[in-house]
Structure 1
């Protein structure tokens, strides 16, 4: 264990977050998402598990270390409900609240069709699958810049 790092964040998760650069995408998903299949096509190339967490808890932990991108209009993407694109699921509002709180601002979330979401997920850096039972717990978070002091 390390000081200041949420205990839900495994070494694999912290390592992936450290490898990611500005503009890289991270998928956080529920257990219904075809995460293992899609993860093979990501930059990281393998699935990262985050057992024991629902989507909001996992995102809250991840966003303690990873800022969202401020250079794009919508740094978070979610999957639309199939057959009812305007439908709202409880996890959508929960994730909105987590992202807004983590960033200290209103974060724009883009909704995309299921298969478009899968295609975008394949181009992500990595996929983190939670224990959330869903449905529609599928989000893509775009990493922002971490403002660090110069090395002395």
Structure 2
């Protein structure tokens, strides 16, 4: 057991987050995302809501502040300017939790799938709201 860590951060997820370097990306995926066929590094958190995972991850991982798009979500097919409620929730969490808050940028659905395949790892959540997918780019952990 460890203190002061969100219990959602399983040993496997902590290992992945600690192993990631500056600029590496992690996908927080909803329950419908084709995670297993998109990565060799998959952490399953079935039954856990994706916003809870985003908050837990950002409690220990900085967002990259050297790029314009450290947080990206999947666009709604046919409605690229519409922001789903789950993504609005992610934005609130980023604004509240990230040490370098950033506006979530959107990516066309199939482009998002291709970007997710290049990510360091994917966390498959139990999130049932569609379009509940988010890519986060790790920033630099600065000295205290």
Q: What 5-or-longer segments of structure 2 have no aligned partner?
A: none
Give the Å deviation of 1:55: 1.3
Match of 1:68, SS state, is coil
The runs of at least 4 aligned residues of structure 1 exceeding 4 Å deviation read none
Match of 1:98 in 2: 93
Once the two structures are superposed, residues 32-58 of structure 1 have per-residue CA deviations (whole angstroms, 9 ceiling, x without a partner) of: 00011101xxxxx23111233211111
Q: How is 1:18-29 mapped onto 2 (pairs within 5 angstroms)? A: 18-29=18-29
TM-score using structure 2 length: 0.95
Once the two structures are superposed, residues 90-110 of structure 1 have per-residue CA deviations (whole angstroms, 9 ceiling, x without a partner) of: 011100000111125541211
Contact 2:64 2:100 survives alignment (8 Å): no
Give the structure with higher Rg (CA): 1
Q: What 5-or-longer segments of structure 1 have no aligned partner?
A: 40-44
Q: Does 1:85 align with 2:80?
A: yes
Match of 1:10 in 2: 10
Whole-angstrom distance in 2 between the partners of 1:130 and 1:112: 20
Once the two structures are superposed, residues 85-130 of structure 1 have per-residue CA deviations (whole angstroms, 9 ceiling, x without a partner) of: 1112101110000011112554121101110001101111000011
Whole-angstrom distance in 1 between the partners of 2:143 and 2:45: 28
CA RMSD of aligned residues (A): 1.2
Q: How is 1:1-152 mapped onto 2 (pairs within 5 angstroms)? A: 1-39=1-39, 45-103=40-98, 106-149=101-144
TM-score using structure 1 length: 0.90
Whole-angstrom distance in 2 between the partners of 1:70 and 1:141: 11
